[in-house]
Chain A
Amino acid sequence: MPLYHNDDQAMLKDSVAPFVAEQAPVSHLRKLRDSADATGFSRDLWAQFTEMGLPGMLVPEAHGGLGMGHMEAGIVLEEIGRNLTPSPFLSTSVGAVAALAKAGGTQAGRWLPAIASGEAIVALAIDEGAKHRPDRIATTATRAGNGFRLDGKKSFVLHGHVADMSIVAAKTDGGVTLFAVPKDAKGLTADARRLVDSSLASHVTLDGVEVDSDAVIGEVDAGGDILDALLAATRTGAAAEMVGVGQGAMDMTVTYLKERKQFGKLIGEFQGLQHRAAHLYGEMEVARATVMKAQQLLDEGSEGAKLMVSVAKAKAGRAANLAVREGVQMHGGIGMTDEYDIGLYMKRDRALAEYMGDVHYHIDQVARMNGY
């Protein structure tokens, strides 16, 4: 497979890009923020996403989805990133679907069609501290009656307060097990906090939450592979969204360089700024290629995917971070104002960089995978 979008993918992009730009541009985010919206995204917009079949892109056709791949999901995520569109697409339609599809069984049958039809929002309850450390899960699941009793605290759970179901990673006797915990489960509380990018993420408490044994996603103690699938998909998706954020910031900045005059000249004429903009362009192109490679390897089910996913999250993290920092700096004073959009790009980048492992976490993973 060549490393560019084929005709079908290019067509998808041609329909998704104008749709997101028209229906959910940055002003859409501002409106949600300024009205102190308590959901974190627009249900109306999600209904429009559903009309286009987007929530079920990765859902297998047998479960009512489109059976597409990460390359296609990445196209949507890049546009979401470029427009700073608040949406449960990444956690629900990418992360949760990857886990459920990998596991199969009862929970896949119950939730995948509901995701594809736009009815279900799913949250991913993985992290437990300020930093992403999925190998140190302390939440416990102990056998009780016909099922399990879950105890622990989760953090950085996007859409946790409104999700119809949360995928909870917990420690069991012989390993890690994933559970589908429905919204109304007794003992489950989600305390939503507004983040720097105006999104809402929850601290989730599981205080003796009782679930039946069929709440297990996949098999007991064998959640490691399913968790890996969830993480790989979500990390790659976050990287794709960051490419969109970085590209959006870079485009704004380059446009500004061509319009803004200082000392009687367009600032884009100054070589100092030209070189920095050109360097940024190179970094963004490399990041884009890397994310596409990770998507391609995931879609092929290749063994090399794990390495490239970490490379992509780290590289996209670095490149998008450069894009937003250069964006604010090159805009000068106006870049510091709330009224101007470039600062919002910096905020979203910060949140995505932290989600599912920051640059340092993934650089460390790359060292480990290479044996040092």
Chain B
Amino acid sequence: MSDLDAFRAEVRAWLEANCPAEMREPIREEGDVCWGGRNWVFKNDAQKQWLEACAAKGYTVPDWPKAYGGAGLTPEQTKIFKQEMKRIHARSPLDSFGIWMLGPALLQFGTEEQKVQYLNPIARGEIRWCQGYSEPGSGSDLVSLQTFGEDKGDHWVVNGSKIWTSYADQADWIFCLVRTDKANKYQGITFMLFDMASKGVTTKPILLISGNSPFCETFFDDVEVPKTQFIGEINRGWDVAKYLLGHEREMISGGGAGGDMISIGGAFAKAFGKNAAGELDDPILRAEMAAFDVDVFAYRAMGERFMDMWKTGRAHPASSNMMKYVGTELNKRRHELVMSGGGSEALEWDSEETKGGARARGWLRTKANSIEGGTSEVMLNVIAKRILDLPGA
């Protein structure tokens, strides 16, 4: 048996012994996702047990070094771990902006002290993070942000506001882009971390067309941030932000759009019935769904290639923009088809049978996919300039 085969057997046995049956069920509602944090209320014992078992083994962040709460797995081992998780339909033990976004940035730019201090609690799900990037006047154009940190010697005093801050009302800490030099557009931003319980921080949820409010407005009114709590260099936060956005796009395109990328046509065969040839009994919709399936299976192949190349440094740095663009546009198309396939049932907004209008709300939610984390148009600009090297206007 090769080392990797042995590793697979070990993971399989561990999952068998440690993953509770309730955690091998598909995510059905928002409370099924475990976000952790100091105020987190576990949905049930299984959710708690699953997080603790994974955290103890380093499996919430399998590819992070052991010193920072990971399992220190190689890329090949990580791939096997994910395959084995998928095989038993195991839920993610912990969904976390700390893992997806801040963690990779800390691993890249943090000091040894910061890594130990912040990464371990992230791996254990003890601190729930939110991301303070967008501002009312600067969405995709992040470098125009205005939130200002005034230098007071040993600390900054931060004033301003952020918008579209996902789950800010439930987060413990924020990683935040703050202007610390007004004279320099790009090199005048610092990447700060601070406690959302700090004096002067308030949040207000924003009601969306889906009827949900996953996003908030966040206000900073003379918030004091110690000078030790920044990542990278002062005024060079843009470097950290750019690196982190690459990971965010990977997450939005890979997880958000790619997570449920399975054949769509089969799911609706029952509602439409089949004709004598065994085909979905709406030839035009069948064709659209099949064409979509082709794109889904193709995108999954691209996802695999992208990850293989990304992890070994072969991918163009801007290829995450391409993945984000293709993945989010595909996810929007999926939900348009889900609505067509669901017919009048999919229109129901509050019935029990539709789980509170899950399909309609999900459809509306996806419209943000090509806006958040940089719009599709910005992604296309980046591909055009950085990959195709087309001339600037």
Using Cβ atoms and an 8 Å threshold, which residues of chain B touch A268?
390-391
Contact A311–B279 (Cβ < 8 Å): no
Contact A290–B384 (Cβ < 8 Å): no
Contact A279–B294 (Cβ < 8 Å): no
What's the Cα separation between A268 and B381 when bound, in Å? 12
Using Cβ atoms and an 8 Å threshold, which residues of chain A touch B305?
3-4, 288-289, 292-293
Most buried by B among A274, A287, A318: A274
CB within 8 Å for A363 and B294 given contacts A277-B390, A282-B325: yes
Q: Give the interface size bracket for A toward B.
A: 35 or more
What's the Cα separation between A363 and B285 when bound, in Å? 13
Tell me if A285 counts as interface (CB < 8 A to partner B): yes
Using Cβ atoms and an 8 Å threshold, which residues of chain A touch B309?
2-4
Shortest distance from the beta carbon of B385 to any chain A beta carbon, whole Å: 8
Chain B interface residue count, Cβ-Cβ cutoff 8 angstroms: 47
Contact A364–B290 (Cβ < 8 Å): yes
A366: contacting residue among B293, B304, B319, B391, CB under 8 A: B293
Give A247-275 interface residues, CB cut-off 8 Å to B. 254, 257-258, 265-266, 268-271, 274-275
Contact A269–B393 (Cβ < 8 Å): yes
Contact A290–B390 (Cβ < 8 Å): no
Task: Scan B264-288; emit 1 where CB is below 8 A from any A CB, else 0.
Answer: 0110110000100011100000110
Contact A2–B286 (Cβ < 8 Å): no
B391: contacting residue among A258, A289, A363, CB under 8 A: A258
Using Cβ atoms and an 8 Å threshold, which residues of chain B touch A363?
287, 290-291, 293-294
Tell me if B126 counts as interface (CB < 8 A to partner A): no
Contact B297–A307 (Cβ < 8 Å): yes
Using Cβ atoms and an 8 Å threshold, which residues of chain B touch A290?
297-298, 301-302
A274: contacting residue among B302, B308, B384, CB under 8 A: B384
Residue in chain B with minimal CB distance to A370: B263
Residue in chain B with minimal CB distance to A367: B290
Instruction: Tally inter-chain residue pairs, CB-CB below 8 A.
Output: 146
Residue in chain A with minimal CB distance to B300: A293
Contact A286–B390 (Cβ < 8 Å): no
Give B315-344 interface residues, CB cut-off 8 Å to A. 319, 322, 325-326
Using Cβ atoms and an 8 Å threshold, which residues of chain B touch A372?
265-266, 268-269, 274, 278-280, 286, 289-290
Contact B322–A269 (Cβ < 8 Å): no
A367: contacting residue among B286, B325, B377, CB under 8 A: B286
Tell me if A314 counts as interface (CB < 8 A to partner B): yes
Tell me if A281 counts as interface (CB < 8 A to partner B): yes
Using Cβ atoms and an 8 Å threshold, which residues of chain B touch A368?
278-279
What's the Cα separation between A268 and B383 when bound, in Å? 13
Contact B265–A275 (Cβ < 8 Å): no
Contact A3–B301 (Cβ < 8 Å): yes
Shortest distance from the beta carbon of B318 to any chain A beta carbon, whole Å: 10
Contact A281–B387 (Cβ < 8 Å): yes
Task: Scan B357-374; emit 1 where CB is below 8 A from any A CB, else 0.
Answer: 000000000000000000
Contact A315–B295 (Cβ < 8 Å): yes
Contact B314–A258 (Cβ < 8 Å): no
Using Cβ atoms and an 8 Å threshold, which residues of chain B touch A308?
297, 301
Using Cβ atoms and an 8 Å threshold, which residues of chain A touch B319?
285
CB within 8 Å for A2 and B308 given contacts A271-B393, A285-B302, A372-B269: yes
Task: Scan A288-327; emit 1 where CB is below 8 A from any B CB, else 0.
Answer: 1110110000000000000110111011001000000000
Contact A370–B325 (Cβ < 8 Å): no
Using Cβ atoms and an 8 Å threshold, which residues of chain A touch B269?
371-372
Task: Scan A339-372; emit 1 where CB is below 8 A from any B CB, else 0.
Answer: 0000000000000000000001011101110111
Contact A286–B291 (Cβ < 8 Å): no
Q: Is the interface of B mostly helix, strand, loop or mixed?
A: helix
Tell me if B380 counts as interface (CB < 8 A to partner A): yes
What's the Cα separation between A281 and B379 when bound, in Å? 12
What's the Cα separation between A287 and B269 when bound, in Å? 28
Tell me if B312 counts as interface (CB < 8 A to partner A): yes
Tell me if B392 counts as interface (CB < 8 A to partner A): yes
Contact A279–B287 (Cβ < 8 Å): no
Tell me if B388 counts as interface (CB < 8 A to partner A): yes
What's the Cα separation between A4 and B291 when bound, in Å? 26
Using Cβ atoms and an 8 Å threshold, which residues of chain B touch A270?
393
Residue in chain A with minimal CB distance to B393: A269
Using Cβ atoms and an 8 Å threshold, which residues of chain B touch A2?
308-309, 312
Contact A278–B301 (Cβ < 8 Å): no
Shortest distance from the beta carbon of A292 to any chain B beta carbon, whole Å: 7
Tell me if B186 counts as interface (CB < 8 A to partner A): no
Residue in chain A with minimal CB distance to B79: A2
Tell me if B299 counts as interface (CB < 8 A to partner A): yes
Contact A286–B380 (Cβ < 8 Å): no
Residue in chain B with minimal CB distance to A283: B326
Shortest distance from the beta carbon of A161 to any chain B beta carbon, whole Å: 35
Shortest distance from the beta carbon of B37 to any chain A beta carbon, whole Å: 36
Shortest distance from the beta carbon of B264 to any chain A beta carbon, whole Å: 9
Contact A287–B383 (Cβ < 8 Å): no
What's the Cα separation between A266 and B279 when bound, in Å? 50
Using Cβ atoms and an 8 Å threshold, which residues of chain A touch B304?
3, 289, 293
Shortest distance from the beta carbon of B8 to any chain A beta carbon, whole Å: 15
What's the Cα separation between A286 and B319 when bound, in Å? 11
Contact A275–B293 (Cβ < 8 Å): no
What's the Cα separation between A288 and B322 when bound, in Å? 14
Using Cβ atoms and an 8 Å threshold, which residues of chain A touch B377?
275
What's the Cα separation between A310 and B289 when bound, in Å? 15
Contact A282–B326 (Cβ < 8 Å): yes
Q: Which 4 A-B pairs rank lowest in CB-CB distance, beginning with the nearest?
A: A367-B290, A274-B384, A278-B383, A293-B301
Q: What are 12 A-B contacts defined by CB distance under 8 Å?
A: A268-B391, A269-B393, A278-B325, A278-B381, A282-B325, A288-B305, A310-B294, A364-B290, A366-B297, A367-B287, A368-B279, A372-B289
Residues of A bordering B, CB below 8 Å: 2-4, 254, 257-258, 265-266, 268-271, 274-275, 277-279, 281-283, 285-290, 292-293, 307-308, 310-312, 314-315, 318, 360, 362-364, 366-368, 370-372
